[in-house]
Homo-oligomer: A and B are copies of this chain.
Amino acid sequence: MPNRLVSSTRHYDQKLQKILKISARIFAEKGFHRTSVRDISRATRMSLAGLYYYFSTKEELLYLIQERCFVTLLDRWDEAGNPAMDARARIRLFAENHLSFFLHNMHEMKVMAHEDDSLTGGFNEKILVLKRRYVKVIMDLIEELQRHENGKGIDLRVATFSLFGMMNWIYTWYQPKRDLPLSQLMEHMLRLYFLGIIEGAKARAPWLTAASTGTAKDTFSLWQKQS
């Protein structure tokens, strides 16, 4: 891979940013595999030669979009994350960062979700490293929260990916004119995530008792057939 690929300054290149933004929109609309570099050329009004200064293959372009998303998310997190805050507040910050980024970059969100397996080889591995780092941030926070705040023993992977599922599914249904604005969307989603949709005290009766008498997470009788 040529050295320019990993230069940390290239992300500041306005032109590259424009290419990535426009390409993400086209990938989101047509799908990665149906998009040609010629389509990108037409939409960006740049020549093929001009484009190939920024990337060597269409796959590299997809890689650059995904890389930029994860690097931006991680950078924003590094700036915003305050280790002095409690886990709940940091989870809120993480979700705020994630949601606001994607609500302002819905095309990128769709591309990340749909073209998750379109990268191969080295590109794929580099993205996996970033993705694992990003998932680990929130997984560690959720684990901390569950440890310190009387967690309900929900499997950590279920707890982690359910949060991502709630947030990432947004691109399929969210309509800015119809739905809550970002700040409230986040409030409602995090309320649901932290406290559930119904009043715990009332709902608890047979459930948490059963769960709290068990020692392993497998002993929940919560959803067993009531026959």
- In the docked arrangement, what's the CA distance between A193 and B159, Å? 10
Which residues of chain B are within 8 angstroms of A159 by Cβ–Cβ distance? 188, 192, 197
A105-134 toward B: CB 8 Å interface, digit per residue (1/0)?
Answer: 000000001101000000000000000000
Q: Which B residues touch A184, using CB under 8 A?
A: 155, 217-218, 220
Beta-carbon nearest neighbor of A222 in chain B: B187
Could you say which of A18-26, A42-50, A66-74, A161-169 contacts chain B?
Answer: A161-169
Identical copies of this chain, number? 2
A204 proximity list for chain B (CB < 8 A): 195, 200
**Restricting to A164-187, which residues have a CB under 8 Å from any CB of B?**
164-170, 172-173, 178-180, 183-187
With A and B bound together, what is the CA distance between A217 and B181 in angstroms? 12
A223 within 8 A of B: yes
Interface string of A77-98 (1 = CB under 8 A from B): 0000000000011001000100
Output the nearest chain B residue to A183 by Cβ-Cβ distance. Answer: B223
Is A203 interfacial (CB 8 A cutoff)? Answer: yes
* Pairs A-B, 5 closest by C-beta atoms: A200-B200, A165-B169, A150-B199, A196-B196, A195-B196
In the complex, A34 has a CB within 8 A of chain B: yes
Contact A154:B192 (CB < 8 A) given known A168-B165, A169-B161, A226-B89: yes
B145 A198 Cβ-Cβ under 8 A: yes
